[in-house]
């Protein structure tokens, strides 16, 4: 088994587990109480989860956040996921990080966004609206392919075998390039 997250799911100490997801303390962090929530099934990126699994993983992340704030008395949490290599994803397994924050903890998860002109924003908005309203044939095919693999549009969890056999992580990431 080459995936660190899958190994953690099978062999690690879990703080929460149900039929679809597990939560455990992150091993490679310097932040005490950093929790990772991961689907039990191996999914490389978020888009491969069914709608049900995607919603459920964030419900569990919310539960972990509530516990950190109300019982461990942290000041707040960052809930984030690095989805894809370009976004800083380290493991070839989708995870949601629930990171406890305290006042003056020295962590900085902020960034300065690029300031786009009104024209640039308008162009992006128009493109997104047109794709979402009237997908072209290529976009429709891609959407149907993702839907059939991930169970999108189906409220039940994906069945075993619904997701194609796992490819090498780097190769699979290339599948996301339009």
pLDDT tens digits for range 66-108: 999 999 999 999 999 999 999 999 889 999 999 999 998 888 8
Number of domain units in the chain: 1
Q: Which of 2-11, 43-52, 114-123 has the lowest mean pLDDT?
A: 2-11
Residues in the chain: 178
Question: Residues near 27 by Cβ (< 8 Å), separated by ≥ 6?
Answer: 8
User: Do 99 and 31 form a contact (C-beta atoms < 8 A)?
Assistant: yes
Q: Answer whether residue 123 is part of any domain.
A: yes
Q: CATH number of the domain that 34 lies in?
A: 3.30.428.10
* Residue 50 banded pLDDT, cuts 50, 70, 90: very high
Q: Answer whether residue 27 is part of any domain.
A: yes
Q: Answer whether residue 175 is part of any domain.
A: no
Residue range(s) defining the domain that contains residue 89: 4-104+117-164
φ, ψ dihedrals at 29, nearest 5°: -140, 160
User: Do 24 and 112 form a contact (C-beta atoms < 8 A)?
Assistant: no
Q: Answer whether residue 76 is part of any domain.
A: yes
Q: Answer whether residue 14 is part of any domain.
A: yes
Beta pairing class for 21-25 and 35-39: antiparallel
pLDDT tens digits for range 9-35: 888 889 999 999 999 999 888 889 999
Q: Answer whether residue 124 is part of any domain.
A: yes
pLDDT tens digits for range 106-144: 888 787 888 889 999 999 999 999 989 875 555 444 445
Q: What is the pLDDT of residue 106?
A: 87
Q: Answer whether residue 170 is part of any domain.
A: no
Cα–Cα dist 151/95, whole Å: 19
Question: How far is residue 61 from each of residues 37, 71, 80, 131, 134, measured CA to CA in Å?
Answer: 6, 15, 10, 31, 34
Q: Is the pTM of this model over 0.75?
A: no
Q: What is the pLDDT of residue 174?
A: 56
Q: Answer whether residue 173 is part of any domain.
A: no
């Amino acid at each position: 088994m080459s995936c660190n997250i899958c190994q953690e799911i099978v062999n690690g100490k879990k703080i929460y587990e149900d039929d679809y997801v597990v939560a455990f303390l992150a091993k490679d962090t310097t932040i005490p109480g950093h929790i990772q929530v991961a689907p039990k099934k191996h999914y490389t990126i978020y888009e491969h989860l069914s709608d049900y699994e995607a919603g459920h993983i964030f419900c569990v992340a919310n539960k972990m956040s509530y516990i950190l704030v109300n019982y461990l008395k942290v000041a707040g949490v960052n809930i984030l996921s690095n989805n894809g290599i370009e976004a800083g994803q380290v493991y070839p397994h989708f995870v949601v990080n629930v990171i406890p924050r305290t006042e003056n903890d020295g962590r900085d998860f902020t960034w300065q966004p690029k300031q786009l002109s009104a024209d640039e924003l308008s162009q992006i908005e128009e493109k997104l609206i047109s794709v979402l309203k009237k997908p072209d044939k290529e976009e429709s095919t891609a959407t149907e392919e993702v839907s059939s693999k991930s169970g999108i549009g189906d409220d039940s969890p994906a069945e075993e075998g619904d997701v194609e056999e796992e490819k090498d992580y780097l190769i699979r990431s290339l599948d996301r390039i339009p």
